[in-house]
Structure 1
Amino acid sequence: MEIVFSINNNAEIMVMPAAPEFEIAEAQGNDTFQGLTVNIRMIGNKELRTMSLSSFFPSKRYPWMSPYADVNPQAYIDFFKSIKTQRIPARIVISDNNDREVLNMAVSIDNFTYKYRKNGDVDYTLDMTEYVFVKAGGING
């Protein structure tokens, strides 16, 4: 698998060194109302998808890494901090081992935590929420 982040229509691209396991949450905004004799379930709108990635940014080349990945942990840290500072969405594209796209989603970076190891590698957790682009004139406009 390969995970690639990009910003500003691929103006800047960051290939993640490894593809950790990930989980996508797809919630639905459903509600239950009490009726006189029975409860009523109202099916709501689809909520924004959320996901989290946890792994590490390597400080040296490992044999299992993507050949396009950077070996400078600070480059990844600067990339994700820049997205937060600029207040812009990023795009995450995940492809499987056969280069088939598994996920292509614009996201906001909700939380980015990282911790330096003694060997120079940096552990990280990246929490994201789906970002929906709104056209001028509204969502349908």
Structure 2
Amino acid sequence: MEIWLNNGNDKIRLPILPSSFTVESSQQNTSQNVHRKGEVNLLGKRNLKTIEISSFFPNHDYPFCQYHGFKKPYYYVKKIEGWKDSNVTPRLIITGDADINMEVSIESFKYGEDDATGDVSFTASLKEYVIVKYSTPAKKTNTKTGKKVNKKVSKTLRALLKKIKNKGSIYTVKKGDTLLKIAKKKTGKSSNWKKIYTLNKNIIEKAAKKHKRKSSNKGKYLYAGTKLVIPK
């Protein structure tokens, strides 16, 4: 049997096997008193496994050591302490019949010297660690059309409104619209089409390029769905 704590390529193999180790596995079961039935047990999901290992890091090359060429005791102590303080979750591997291979968190690490040999005894309390994956929030949609909202466009529109000190409104281009019609409808003067074009030039030109045109020809080509800021 071998016992390892692996943090990628940074590995510790225990030089001395513990005389024993303990694995605890439990369930989130609850009991309830049910009318006319008495106490019943409601089975829940299992809790994370906990493992406690007690052994020592030898200061001398004893005949019963698992292997030779190991480091001094406090090398391992500092490494495990560093992992714990840095929230590193190493992989615990116990070979043989136990066949344990799981990522763990270091819940506590107790160590000290019992005699003058320089050996450092320790007890490590480990807990199974499960990686939680979070999904990326879905993009907001327009509840009326069901289409995804383009956040970049929204930021652009907000920037334009800020530019004119929020003295304006947002207009969505409809099929058949022209800047002359929009200017007349929203400002009362068709001659204001130039102001609308100048303010929204980047948006209008971007829409034209999206529809495979080199340019909008100063707003001649508009496309339904394009949002424009209309100054007062």
Q: Using structure 2 for the length normalisation, give the TM-score.
A: 0.54
Equivalent pairs, count = 133
Unaligned stretches of 5+ in structure 1?
Answer: none
Unaligned stretches of 5+ in structure 2?
Answer: 137-232
CA drift of 1:101 comes to 6.8
- 113, 130, 140: which one aligns with 1:132: 130
* 1:109 is aligned to 2:106: yes
Letter of the structure 2 residue corresponding to residue 53 of structure 1? I
**Corresponding residue for residue 209 of structure 2:** none
State the secondary structure of the residue aligned to 2:125. strand
Q: Is the 8 A contact 2:111 2:123 kept in 1?
A: yes
- Which fold has the larger relative contact order, with Cα–Cα distance below 8 Å and residues 6 or more apart in sequence? 1
**Partners of 1:77 and 1:62 in 2: CA distance:** 19
**Corresponding residue for residue 48 of structure 1:** 48
State the secondary structure of the residue aligned to 1:80. helix
**Corresponding residue for residue 14 of structure 2:** 16
Q: Is the 8 A contact 2:17 2:66 kept in 1?
A: no
Q: Is the 8 A contact 1:14 1:69 kept in 2?
A: no
Higher helix share: 2
Encode CA deviations 1:4-47: one digit per residue, 9 max, x unaligned. Answer: 1011xx22001101221212111011000111122221001010
CA drift of 1:121 comes to 0.3
Instruction: Name the CA shift for 1:101/1:52 in 2 (closer, same or farther; >3 Å).
Output: closer
**Structure exhibiting the larger radius of gyration computed from Cα positions:** 2
Letter of the structure 2 residue corresponding to residue 130 of structure 1? E
**RMSD, aligned CA:** 1.8
Q: Using structure 1 for the length normalisation, give the TM-score.
A: 0.87
**Partners of 1:15 and 1:106 in 2: CA distance:** 15
